[in-house]
Structure formats: C-alpha cells, structure tokens
Homo-oligomer: A and B are copies of this chain.
C-alpha cells in the first residue's frame, strides 16, 4: 500500500533514507534530498497535503486505541545540536491532534533517573495505546554523549546496544511501531545556526555554550552514530538518516515515514461495540 510512487518522490522515503541505503553518516550529504526531486515550494505544498493524510491516519489509530487495540507508534529523533529535532516536533507534531500525541524530551538524567537503569525513564514515557509518541532524544543518548565522553565505563556502554535491541523487540511485540530518525546537519550549517542564536535576542534561550564544546567532538559523534546504525538498525526498528540542512525536506521526510508506518497497520474504523439500531431508537425516543 505504501510502496506506490508518490508525487515528488521517485523512491519511497522509507527506502531512500534507510541507513542501509544512504551509506555511512560521515559521507552523507546534509544538503541532499534522497528519493525526492521537488523543490522547496513544492515540498511545502506537499507537506500541507500529506499532513492531512497523516492526521486522518492518526485519528484512525486513536479511535482503535480507544476501542481496545493496543498498537501505538514511536518516533525517535536524534541529531547533533541545531539539527532541528524541536522543529520536527513543532512542525510535524503540529500537523497532528495533540490529544493523540505523547511527546517527551530527554535531557541530562535527573538524580532520580540515575538511580535506575538507563531504560527506566524511557519505559515511563512510552506512548499509550492509540498514540503517536515522539522522543526528542531518547535511550540512544546513553550510547552517544555517554560513549563519546565515557560517562560510564566502556564495559558498560558497550553492552547497551544489545539491551536496546532487546528492549525494542519487546516493544514491537507489544504493539509499538518504532521509527528511528537521525537528523543530519552539516558542520557548516551548524555554525550558521549557532551564530544566528547569538545574533537574535529572541534566540538566546536556545543557545547553550556547551554546544560549542560538543562540536569539538564532531568526529567522535559521527563514529558513535555509525555504531548505533551498525548495531541497532533492524527491519522492525529501522534507522533513517534525515538530511536536515533543508528544514522543509526534513519535515516532509519525517511526515512520509510516519504515514508509511501508519498505513502498514492497515487500520479500519472500529466496529460499534453497541447495537446501532437499538441506540438509534433510543436517540429518536429521547426528550
């Protein structure tokens, strides 16, 4: 159903952007638009149209969740600072009914979170039945900055890939569709975006001096990302590289991945769990 050719797409996003198709992140072009041959104006028009398709599918998922179907969808967003994770939440999440969303941002673990294993806070934030969850950062932080800075010993973080795979397999078995996206911004574009945050007082709040420190570890981060793709890309929980220099494309691409995931659930409106004719009679008879 999701495999037919879409306007503007010469290959479905879900295939063109899969890490197994894009090649290594270190050589990935953050300006590119793999699988898509339209320009910005066309992409924006298309996003508005496809956003309605997505919203309709979300309502179907929500309706089924209310009717006892335990399925849900989880979109995991990772990416370097300024890659636009928040923009995806705002502009793709913003296409949806907020009632059917479960959004969670993961920052540095709190004292309470550190008293538990690294997946504890993730479990608590999983989308309930019928919802689309969006994680702005995720359990992958525990093999990204944690690995780059050895915040725990290597013997500990190196075991986490397998723990993550096992965790995600359990999630999938319990009805959650997982879509993992790494937003890729180029080093030059990151400079532009950091500079802008310092030039505009309405952007100061987004600026964090620590981002510059992290930029110094750019290549280490690329390695840590590649390790994730090599070790945790699964057919049932695939990783996608989302080129993020062109914000309009990143949004369109993530929208398409969500549509694809929802279409694969082959949802239909739930049956009435009451006698429709009897209820019609009650309504007709009522005062």
Which residue numbers of A lie inside 8 Å of B, CB to CB?
A: 63-64, 66-67, 86, 89-90, 93-94, 96-99, 101, 103, 105, 134, 136, 191, 194-195, 198, 201-202, 204-207, 209, 212, 215-216, 269-272, 274, 276, 279-280, 282-283, 286-287
Contact = CB atoms under 8 A, between A and B. Distances in A.
B195 A283 contact: yes
Given A98-B94, A101-B98, A215 B286 contact: yes
Q: Which 5 pairs show the lowest CB-CB distances between chains A and B?
A: A63-B205, A93-B98, A204-B272, A90-B97, A202-B269
27 contacts: A63-B202, A63-B205, A67-B205, A90-B97, A93-B97, A93-B99, A94-B96, A94-B97, A96-B98, A98-B98, A98-B101, A98-B134, A191-B286, A194-B283, A195-B283, A198-B276, A198-B283, A201-B269, A201-B272, A204-B272, A204-B276, A209-B274, A212-B279, A212-B283, A212-B286, A216-B286, A216-B287
Nearest to A201: B269
Given A212-B282, A283-B195, A204 B270 contact: yes
Nearest to A270: B205
Contacts of A280: 195, 198
Contact of A198 (B64, B201, B269, B279): B279
B101 A90 contact: no
Nearest to A89: B99
A90 B94 contact: no
A102 to B, nearest CB: 9
